[in-house]
Amino acid sequence: MRRITIQNIADAAGLSKFAVSRALSGKTGVSDSTREMVLRIANEMGYQARPKQTTQTIAVLSEDAELINGELNQKIMSGIRDECHTVGLELIELQTTGARQLSDVVGRADGLIFVGVNQPKLYQEASQLSVPIVKIGTFEPLEQFDIVRGTNYETGRVIGDLFLRHGHKHMAYVRGRRDFRGRQERFNGFFASIHLDPSAKVSDLRWKSEGELQKKLNRLLDGPNPVTGFFCAHDGIAVTIMSELLSRNLRIPDDVSIVGYGDYLAAQHIRPPLTTVNVPGFAFGREAVRLILDRLNEPTSKRYSMRIQIPSEVVFRETLGDRAAERNN
């Protein structure tokens, strides 16, 4: 005899899986008549609820459509796993790409963590579940979820100050082929810092093809006021820029300085080793679990939505140096 599921009841009742789950669990959000109908249908179909969990469970839904985020997501997941193990929480890990739906965790999870997910419809569905939700990374203005994030704007300010202290006057912010909110926030901070020096200038470098990159680099590197400092939106982009500069026989950091972002494996293995910004992904994951646990421990508390910012850290290696005077006189 096949096991009757919540989805079977939802199909028979003509309701969503979420509504059936709430009716069966006694939660608010459905009318008394709907609850009675669901309970009747469940009884007629022979539905047997799963034994109540003695251990609370967190579900993590992650999206890694951009491979560049792979290493960061791995760090975040390591922090989540470590903290769940420490506090005794069960963990369900799911990818939201393709046909994967939030319904996979309905009735199974006491809290949800979203890692880099950019699906507004998914968040709308999640908000109906009445379980604690934490988002790591992307968020909308004034969004009423608990959020753990980095310090993009502050990072841009710090890197801008570093270049100025090293005597650079013309710098480029390198976005790459794609643009994301975090990259824009870092540019805003970078520009704000450089703008404090009236004699300094920032160029915004983005491209759609390799040929376009080479043409734009040629323009930035030639002329009376060439770029001497590059702040790259990602370590992978920094590796690309370094390759282009070295192919032009430019010395790093003697002629040109480069700072990356992320502190991924590529930053450590390239030569010279890349000065970059470490993003504390492990801490993101750990704090997200702690936020969920706080909510679970105080289920009736009317706390405001929380935002935790965990500061990044500059990792000094060998690609940031003083401006080469001979190239700027």
233 CB-near residues (< 8 Å, 6+ apart):
173, 174, 175, 176, 183, 186, 187, 261
Q: What's the pLDDT score for residue 54?
A: 60
> Percentage of the chain with pLDDT > 70?
90
For 127-146, how does the pLDDT look when each residue is reduced to its tens digit (9 = 90+)? 877 789 999 987 778 888 89
Whether 133 and 79 have beta carbons less than 8 Å apart is answered as: no
308 CB-near residues (< 8 Å, 6+ apart):
146, 147, 148, 149, 287, 291
Q: What's the pLDDT score for residue 98?
A: 41
For 212-268, how does the pLDDT look when each residue is reduced to its tens digit (9 = 90+)? 999 999 999 998 899 999 999 999 999 999 999 999 999 999 999 999 999 998 888
Burial of 302 per CB tally in 10 Å (0-12, 13-18, 19+): exposed
Gap between the Cα atoms of 15 and 11, Å rounded: 7
For 91-124, how does the pLDDT look when each residue is reduced to its tens digit (9 = 90+)? 988 876 543 567 777 778 889 999 988 777 777 7
Whether 108 and 92 have beta carbons less than 8 Å apart is answered as: yes
Q: What's the pLDDT score for residue 128?
A: 79
Which domains are seen in the chain, by residue range? 6-45 (no CATH), 57-150+281-297 (3.40.50.2300), 152-278+315-327 (3.40.50.2300)
Gap between the Cα atoms of 182 and 64, Å rounded: 16
Whether 34 and 23 have beta carbons less than 8 Å apart is answered as: yes
Query: Does the pLDDT of residue 152 top 50, yes or no?
Result: yes
The token pair that represents 220 in the structure block? 């930035």
Whether 13 and 38 have beta carbons less than 8 Å apart is answered as: yes
Q: Count of residues for the chain?
A: 329
Gap between the Cα atoms of 50 and 1, Å rounded: 16
The pTM for the full model equals 0.79
Of the candidates 77, 129, 116, 121, the residue with the CA atom closest to the CA atom of residue 101: 121
Query: Beta 276-278 vs 170-176: how paired, if at all?
Result: unpaired
Gap between the Cα atoms of 284 and 77, Å rounded: 9
